């Protein structure tokens, strides 16, 4: 593009696009200038986003890069639109996930968590925290996030911990937090209770063990079937359906529990399914949630038979101390020996596993703290029903309601060390429970100093549920809180709608009296190019930092967001990053070209001239359209469409057409024409850069600074606005006709192998928009190798031997046959015909090979079919051309 023009303007912009040269430098400068640190400014409207805090367990993945790019697009746009924008970053302490990781690390060092003790272990976790927070911060900055790191928060910060404490005490005093003996999901590996949401359900190949329980003082036995025979130790009844005629006579009788010898009753309960198994069900209230309910109805004892690590508890002879599965084997063998095992049937069933460690959950009764959900859930449902918080896309409301409508009380205690310790003290002398904002020194009831704090910590989501206001200083009354709450938009993945989004909504309403955000923009996950999830086990993960190293942050950001719809999963292709980099390259070169040719003196002289050419009017009108479309799409959260529109405009209309159309002006002697062209080029380029800035912040800033617009930085420059005056539909229509016509002329000339240097007359028979072709004469001359453009009124006026091109609004005749050596051309075409015939033969052979068709991936087969089709079409048009020449 460059090279053939005046090179007299000094251009500071580097010759080649090299993101490494400026990305880090610009980020550092932005931070130093404080562009991302907003002030509480009553004259401006606030716009705020709380960044979903990454867990401190590791490093950023592509999902974070996507999530943060979407947020950055919104924040950068709003900042340019004049809002006081706060994007508050931070990290999550991720209680269980971090504890598991640090524990693993110390085991590798040959140390033991228990031996180490709570304090020393927590010290290690704090070291880890510092290291990983630092790493995450650095990585986020590499992505280019325009977040305010002076307000960076951490869920274990002093103030955020104070917020946690405040909410706990408040809910306790309101009677919404209670302690209960409840059946919980217990992970014997992590040795903690976990919530329903942390369980993954998997189909397991298991068995049904049919076991006979002898009826006391008789020869009769009752046969039950179970998938977990080891829980037999804790049976406190066998239940049958009251309508079951097979067992009616046995209800009220007593059974002797095998292996244990304890006496247990036979009870009748509707819960038992007559059709399932043998119709008799062993009841183990301490180890099964349904049995727990049956036990409550029949006042059955609850006997816990396992230790926290899943081994059998004391008092069960040789089984005690055995792992639950080892005990299962031993018990089944003993039952068989005693003739009590009837049969073993294969049975695949649904098993819950802990999502972090994949260990099978053991339901177990334990003493835990709970949040009562019904009073909290209703206002949160209402707020979304009434659109105080809107989900984008709306379909994700369903996920929210599914969870909220079936919500159970929230078990918030975890048997871990890392996290917010439960602010509850127990008096050892009078059993008083003390819950208060300040750490107590003595019992509030009996004054005893013999008090002890609860050993457990809170579920990690308890603190992140408060994120939208705890980060702004709550429970203190701060200016930030007053100004920025409720926040504007939350951007997050659909996978944590119930873990996190729902809990933030009810926490916000309950503690702040208002929803935490107006909108929730949901995005999908980033998958590998074959559609599979990226995971460690598949080793198909992509490190965003490596991509940035190779292509630059702008290319990564652009490729992750452009063309994607909210809520949909996206696939990662390196090729897409590569084309994004090519786009950046194109913008870079076009900008250099503009800078090289722009004479600022002449430009300023004709600043106010409106002597526009049709091309000027066209590009200004199109630019104006794009400003409107991009702004509207960002407003609707269609960020993928918005960036796609800027891309198309900049690449096609600006670089490929306008710059080409305007080139002839640079050679003219008409100073005003030059001045006007310079002004238009400059306006369109700066506007395009501004529209592109939210998704590609670095390259746009680097070019913008070199354009010397008078603005200090593009980040704080003003967002382009739609201007009615620039809109010109007539010109857009006319220019579209000219561009289409030029394209078809170029196609025909290329097909006929006519070099650009060989000019020919053009005869245009316009069926519509004759003025467009008349006004566009100069463009045909420069861009379609026309020596002269003649508008005609009838076909007959065109020379006889002309080649015709049909385009929208016109038929165009070109006497170019004498520009080609017909003999040579036929010769060339014959060669091409042979080549194509060979290609067709090759593809046909491949496609008739059954092995290939059945074994190769569908996409590859389709690709071959496409090739065949294309070659056949080319073959046909070559034959046609040969015939026309003969």
Cβ at position 427, least distance to Zn ion in Å: 3
What is the C-alpha to C-alpha distance for residues 752 and 875, in angstroms, rounded to an integer? 15
What is the C-alpha to C-alpha distance for residues 14 and 428, in angstroms, rounded to an integer? 74
Which residues lie below 8 Å from residue 662, measured CB to CB, with a gap of 6+?
615, 616, 677, 680, 681
Choose which of 45, 216, 329, 445 interacts with Zn ion (CB under 5 A). Answer: 445
- Pick the closest to residue 298 from 271, 261, 260, 276 (CA basis): 271
Specify the DSSP class assigned to residue 82. T
Cβ at position 353, least distance to Zn ion in Å: 8
Cα Rg, the chain, nearest whole Å: 37
Scan residues 623-652 and list those touching Zn ion (CB under 5 A).
Answer: none
**427 counts as binding Zn ion under rule CB under 5 A:** yes
Q: Which helix (H) or strand (E) holds 369?
A: strand 362-371
**24 counts as binding Zn ion under rule CB under 5 A:** no
Cβ at position 310, least distance to Zn ion in Å: 11
Choose which of 14, 191, 274, 430 interacts with Zn ion (CB under 5 A). Answer: 430
Q: Would the CA dihedral through 488, 494, 496, 502 be positive or negative? A: positive
How many residues bind Zn ion (CB under 5 A)? The answer is: 14
Q: Which helix (H) or strand (E) holds 354?
A: strand 341-354
Choose which of 167, 233, 383, 443 interacts with Zn ion (CB under 5 A). Answer: 443
Q: Which residue has the tokens 């080029």?
A: 681
Tell me if 2 sits within 8 A of 13, measured CB to CB: no
| Nearer of residues 428 and 533 to Zn ion, judged by Cβ | 428
| Nearer of residues 363 and 475 to Zn ion, judged by Cβ | 363
The interface region with Zn ion, picked from 349-357, 376-384, 723-731, 801-809 by CB under 5 A, is 349-357
| Nearer of residues 193 and 765 to Zn ion, judged by Cβ | 193
The interface region with Zn ion, picked from 247-255, 366-374, 425-433, 634-642 by CB under 5 A, is 425-433
What is the C-alpha to C-alpha distance for residues 283 and 300, in angstroms, rounded to an integer? 9
Scan residues 134-193 and list those touching Zn ion (CB under 5 A).
Answer: 187, 189-190
Scan residues 351-390 and list those touching Zn ion (CB under 5 A).
Answer: 354, 357, 359
Summarize the chain as % helix, strand, coil (round to 5): 50, 20, 35
Cβ at position 103, least distance to Zn ion in Å: 11
| Nearer of residues 7 and 357 to Zn ion, judged by Cβ | 357
The interface region with Zn ion, picked from 37-45, 422-430, 557-565, 730-738 by CB under 5 A, is 422-430
Helix, strand or coil, per DSSP, at residue 363: strand
Q: Which residue has the tokens 């701060």?
A: 478
| Nearer of residues 443 and 521 to Zn ion, judged by Cβ | 443
The rounded Cα 406 to chain-centroid distance in angstroms is 26
| Nearer of residues 290 and 353 to Zn ion, judged by Cβ | 353
Helix ranges (H only) for 109-235 are 113-116, 118-143, 158-173
| Nearer of residues 325 and 667 to Zn ion, judged by Cβ | 325
The interface region with Zn ion, picked from 162-170, 440-448, 557-565, 709-717 by CB under 5 A, is 440-448
Cβ at position 199, least distance to Zn ion in Å: 10
Q: Which residue has the tokens 């192998």?
A: 753
Rounded to a whole number, what is the distance in angstroms from the first to the last CA of the chain? Answer: 39
Q: Which two tokens stand for residue 316?
A: 């069960």
* Backbone φ, ψ for residue 529 (5° rounding): -65, -20
The interface region with Zn ion, picked from 73-81, 296-304, 348-356, 634-642 by CB under 5 A, is 348-356
- Pick the closest to residue 378 from 405, 403, 411, 400 (CA basis): 405
Cβ at position 448, least distance to Zn ion in Å: 5
Cβ at position 58, least distance to Zn ion in Å: 17
**414 counts as binding Zn ion under rule CB under 5 A:** no
| Nearer of residues 163 and 443 to Zn ion, judged by Cβ | 443
Binding mask 187-226 for Zn ion (x = CB under 5 A): x-xx------------------------------------
Choose which of 446, 837, 860, 876 interacts with Zn ion (CB under 5 A). Answer: 446
| Nearer of residues 443 and 509 to Zn ion, judged by Cβ | 443
Helix, strand or coil, per DSSP, at residue 434: strand
What is the C-alpha to C-alpha distance for residues 72 and 54, in angstroms, rounded to an integer? 16
Cβ at position 321, least distance to Zn ion in Å: 21
Residues of the shown chain interacting with Zn ion in the complex, contacts defined by CB under 5 A: 187, 189-190, 354, 357, 359, 427, 429-430, 432, 443, 445-446, 448
């Amino acid at each position: 593009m460059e090279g053939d023009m005046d090179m007299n303007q000094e251009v500071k912009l580097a010759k080649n696009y090299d993101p490494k040269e400026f990305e880090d430098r610009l980020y550092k400068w932005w931070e130093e200038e404080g562009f991302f640190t907003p002030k509480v400014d009553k004259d401006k409207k606030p716009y705020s986003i709380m960044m979903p805090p990454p867990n401190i367990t590791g490093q950023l993945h592509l999902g974070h890069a996507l999530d943060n790019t979407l947020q950055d697009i919104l924040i950068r746009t709003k900042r340019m639109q004049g809002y006081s924008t706060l994007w508050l970053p931070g990290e999550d302490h991720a209680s269980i996930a971090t504890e598991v990781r640090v524990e693993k690390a110390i085991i590798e060092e040959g140390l033991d968590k228990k031996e180490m003790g709570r304090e020393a272990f927590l010290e290690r976790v704090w070291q880890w925290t510092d290291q990983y927070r630092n790493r995450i911060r650095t990585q986020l900055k590499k992505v280019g996030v325009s977040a305010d790191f002076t307000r960076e928060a951490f869920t274990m910060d002093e103030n955020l911990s104070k917020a946690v404490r405040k909410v706990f005490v408040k809910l306790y005093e309101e009677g919404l937090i209670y302690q209960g003996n409840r059946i919980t999901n217990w992970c014997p590996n992590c040795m903690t209770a976990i919530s329903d949401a942390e369980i993954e359900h998997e189909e397991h190949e298991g068995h049904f063990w049919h076991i006979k329980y002898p009826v006391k003082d008789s020869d009769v036995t009752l046969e039950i079937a179970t998938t977990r025979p080891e829980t037999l130790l804790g049976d406190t009844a066998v239940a049958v359906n009251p309508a079951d005629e097979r067992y009616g006579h046995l209800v009220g009788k007593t059974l002797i529990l095998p292996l244990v010898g304890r006496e247990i009753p036979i009870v009748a309960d509707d819960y038992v399914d007559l059709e399932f198994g043998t119709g008799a069900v062993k009841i183990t209230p301490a180890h099964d949630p349904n049995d727990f309910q049956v036990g409550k109805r029949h006042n059955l004892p609850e006997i816990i038979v396992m230790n926290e690590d899943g081994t059998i508890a004391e008092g069960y002879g040789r089984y005690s101390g055995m792992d639950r599965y080892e005990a299962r084997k031993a018990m089944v063998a003993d039952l068989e020996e005693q003739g009590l095992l009837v049969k073993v049937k294969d049975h695949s069933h649904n098993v819950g596993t802990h999502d972090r460690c994949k260990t099978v959950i053991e339901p177990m009764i334990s003493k835990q703290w709970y949040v009562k959900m019904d009073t909290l859930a209703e206002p949160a449902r209402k707020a979304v029903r009434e659109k105080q918080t809107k989900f984008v896309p709306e379909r994700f409301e369903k996920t929210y309601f599914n969870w909220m409508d079936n919500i159970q009380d929230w078990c918030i205690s975890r048997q871990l060390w890392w996290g917010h310790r439960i602010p509850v003290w127990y008096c050892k002398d009078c059993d008083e429970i003390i819950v208060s904002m300040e750490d107590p020194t003595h019992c509030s009831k009996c004054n005893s100093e013999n008090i002890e704090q609860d050993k457990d910590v809170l579920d990690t989501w308890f603190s992140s549920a408060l994120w939208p206001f705890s980060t702004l200083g709550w429970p203190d009354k701060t200016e930030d809180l007053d100004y920025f709450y409720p926040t504007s938009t939350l951007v997050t993945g659909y996978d944590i709608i119930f873990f996190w989004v729902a809990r933030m909504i009810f926490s916000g309403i309950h503690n702040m009296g208002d929803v935490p955000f107006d909108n929730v923009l949901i995005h999908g996950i980033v998958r590998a190019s074959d559609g599979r999830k990226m995971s460690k086990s598949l080793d198909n993960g992509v490190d965003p930092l490596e991509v940035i190293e190779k292509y630059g942050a702008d290319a990564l950001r652009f490729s992750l967001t452009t063309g994607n719809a909210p809520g949909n999963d996206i696939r990662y292709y390196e090729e897409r990053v590569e084309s994004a980099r090519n786009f950046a390259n194109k913008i870079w070169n076009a900008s250099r070209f503009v800078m090289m040719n722009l004479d600022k003196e002449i430009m300023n002289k004709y600043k106010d001239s409106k002597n526009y050419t049709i091309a000027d009017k066209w590009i200004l009108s199109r630019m104006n359209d794009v400003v409107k479309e991009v702004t509207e799409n960002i407003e609707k959260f269609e960020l993928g469409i918005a960036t796609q529109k800027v891309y198309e405009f900049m690449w096609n209309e600006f670089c490929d057409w306008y710059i080409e159309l305007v080139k002839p002006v640079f050679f003219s002697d008409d100073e005003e024409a030059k001045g006007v062209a310079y002004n238009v080029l400059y306006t369109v380029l700066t506007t395009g850069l501004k529209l592109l800035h939210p998704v590609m912040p670095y390259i746009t800033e680097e070019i913008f600074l070199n354009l010397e617009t008078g603005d200090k930085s593009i980040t704080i420059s003003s967002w382009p606005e739609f201007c009615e005056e620039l809109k010109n539909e007539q010109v857009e229509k006319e220019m579209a006709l000219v561009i289409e016509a030029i394209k078809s002329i170029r196609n025909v000339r290329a097909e006929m192998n006519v070099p650009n240097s060989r000019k020919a007359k053009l005869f245009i028979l316009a069926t519509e928009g004759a003025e467009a072709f008349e006004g566009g004469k100069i463009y045909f001359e420069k861009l379609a190798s026309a020596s002269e453009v003649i508008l005609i009124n009838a076909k007959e006026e065109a020379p006889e031997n002309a080649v015709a091109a049909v385009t929208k609004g016109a038929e165009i005749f070109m006497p170019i046959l004498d520009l080609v050596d017909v003999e040579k051309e036929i010769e060339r075409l014959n060669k091409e015909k042979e080549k194509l015939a060979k290609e067709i033969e090759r593809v046909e052979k491949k496609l008739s090979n059954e092995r290939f068709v059945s074994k190769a991936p569908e996409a590859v087969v389709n690709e071959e079919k496409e090739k065949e089709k294309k070659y056949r079409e080319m073959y046909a048009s070559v034959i046609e051309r040969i015939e026309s020449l003969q």
